[in-house]
Chains A and B, each alone.
Chain A
């Protein structure tokens, strides 16, 4: 796992009204890695994602992606550079169709403007066709659940698990290099979890995405991660392979002394 360094985060801190949400965090992702970020509730994991995707500006530190700093970029610019994300509490465009959800995600990869759409130019039609096809391809990643007659249904009719899947599809549709998955299996039953775990592996092996994932389900973390980073109170308390981390006394303490394995979902 010694690919090219994609994302390099240096001594990142953020403060909300005196509260240190993240403190002096160092973090890096190499190309083709699957990194899991774990930690008890309130450890600052989601804040960490929000900061990478540009929704929160850090107080100090730097986020370097492929040699360029992401600081000061709007979320849409971060996405355009190649970092997509999903949300912990699924946030789909509930009243757009499933196909539209993945089509709209390709916004930053397309460029036909008002006049192109008005005049129905050839490039407009070609682009529409392209994003439609790519959208279907992305949806097809999840089997037959999101395609076929489903394409023109609104996202609001989907079941919870399918909403989560569509969220991932939407992130994939932005043609990213890194996907940030915020608790991808939360609320799923064991069968679904197992299936999605496999898919996360495929995201790397078949689609070539690099993945950073927040997850509470230790089984998933163990099965897919190359590396695990443990956050607590906004600080990195351990880092390394799953085995190293799960035996780290500091980590066990952070989880209230409970052994991590088995019952931490």
Chain B
């Protein structure tokens, strides 16, 4: 059935006109902010335009810009890793697994516990690569288990329900895991052991010196992404996943075990989130029970921005989102004269989501969904 395919010919209703206005207004703000930024950078902060918008305008120097960009990209690659889980589950089951952010938190939490135990045993300082490998292993396993259990207990009984039902369920699951962590492990921030000095050193040529842990995060994320790509595109499991995503019924007629494939999907998404959890620990050094919530929602936004169901898109969306939330306050908001622009970092992430959905609802790289989910 193609009943719901709709193309808009021209704006007709007030709502349409309002949406068009919003699209233009947002685009204009972005363009204008960027223009003001460019003027401030290349003409100088003392010209009337810049001063008119922002009295305290200053040039942004390269080091600061690079810092923002790199931290944006490293965070973005983390979002990308989490976004893969959202994207795959949405592709296969057609619902938003709101609790996927908590899987990431479980990864970060168990990674933290393992690291601290290893630190107490002295392994962390003596043989860091071994320690981090163990930590990654433990957190990946725990995150995978969490994701699989979640599917088994909360989602499998709801297979075939209207899509809002599993979404509401997943909100409950998210709440449950968050508070379980607070109650079992105690509330508040918990610190990772300090990384060894050689890892924290800045590296690279003088004009491009980057903190070692950020390099590590980006490299690990890229490796995980490559492994996933291989798995989905080149193996039998991946083929089964793609078939189930396209049409569950036909896939099962073709002899694919749909339940098992769905579990695999959750497991892979969980593993990616577990790796992202460890990377979070390396990058920020501390974890709370709320660690999963905002990054989770942002990662979902990243998946939508990149085009849901599209794995490359998820990663690209993550980088886009991480980059924009890190850079946009300085590049767009500040030149526009918004005071305290860094406080609006999280708001920027949501604005990116809204903007993309307004301008290009299928995401930057196009969504890949089965026909029934597209409706």
Give A residues with C-beta under 8 Å from B.
16, 21, 46-47, 50, 55-57, 71-72, 74, 89
- B2: Cβ under 8 A from any A Cβ: yes
* Residues on the B chain within 8 Å of A16, using CB: 2, 5
* Residues on the A chain within 8 Å of B1, using CB: 46, 89
B10-A57 in contact (CB<8A)? no
B12-A50 in contact (CB<8A)? no
* Residues on the A chain within 8 Å of B13, using CB: 74
Chain A contact residues: helix, strand, loop or mixed? loop
A72-B6 in contact (CB<8A)? no
Q: Which residue in chain A gives the minimum CB-CB distance to B4?
A: A55
Give B residues with C-beta under 8 Å from A.
1-10, 12-13
A57-B12 in contact (CB<8A)? no
**Closest approach, in angstroms, between the C-beta of B375 and any C-beta of chain A?**
12
A47-B9 in contact (CB<8A)? no
- A21, A71, A72: most-surrounded residue (chain B CB, <10 A): A72
* Residues on the B chain within 8 Å of A74, using CB: 12-13
A55-B10 in contact (CB<8A)? no
Give Cα distance in the complex from A72 to B16, angstroms: 13
* Residues on the B chain within 8 Å of A57, using CB: 6-9
Contacting residue for B6 out of A55, A71, A89, CB 8 A? A55
Identify 26 residue pairs between A and B in the complex whose beta-carbon atoms are under 8 Å apart, listed by A's number. Answer: A16-B2, A16-B5, A21-B2, A46-B3, A47-B2, A50-B2, A50-B3, A55-B3, A55-B4, A55-B5, A55-B6, A56-B2, A56-B3, A56-B5, A56-B6, A57-B6, A57-B7, A57-B8, A57-B9, A71-B9, A72-B9, A72-B10, A72-B12, A74-B12, A74-B13, A89-B1
Give Cα distance in the complex from A247 to B29, angstroms: 66
Give Cα distance in the complex from A55 to B10, angstroms: 15
**Closest approach, in angstroms, between the C-beta of A147 and any C-beta of chain B?**
30
* Residues on the B chain within 8 Å of A72, using CB: 9-10, 12
Give Cα distance in the complex from A71 to B12, angstroms: 12
Give Cα distance in the complex from A48 to B203, angstroms: 64
* Residues on the A chain within 8 Å of B9, using CB: 57, 71-72
Beyond contacts A16-B5, A21-B2, A46-B1: 12 other A-B pairs, Cβ-Cβ < 8 A, are A46-B3, A47-B2, A50-B2, A50-B3, A55-B3, A55-B4, A56-B2, A56-B5, A57-B9, A72-B10, A74-B13, A89-B1
**Closest approach, in angstroms, between the C-beta of B4 and any C-beta of chain A?**
7
* Residues on the B chain within 8 Å of A89, using CB: 1
* Residues on the B chain within 8 Å of A46, using CB: 1, 3
**Closest approach, in angstroms, between the C-beta of A91 and any C-beta of chain B?**
9
Give Cα distance in the complex from A89 to B12, angstroms: 30
**Closest approach, in angstroms, between the C-beta of B185 and any C-beta of chain A?**
44
Q: Which residue in chain B gives the minimum CB-CB distance to A91?
A: B3
Give Cα distance in the complex from A47 to B3, angstroms: 8
Q: Which residue in chain B gives the minimum CB-CB distance to A57?
A: B7
Give Cα distance in the complex from A74 to B9, angstroms: 11
Q: Which residue in chain B gives the minimum CB-CB distance to A73?
A: B12
- B1, B3, B4, B12: most-surrounded residue (chain A CB, <10 A): B3
Give Cα distance in the complex from A46 to B6, angstroms: 15
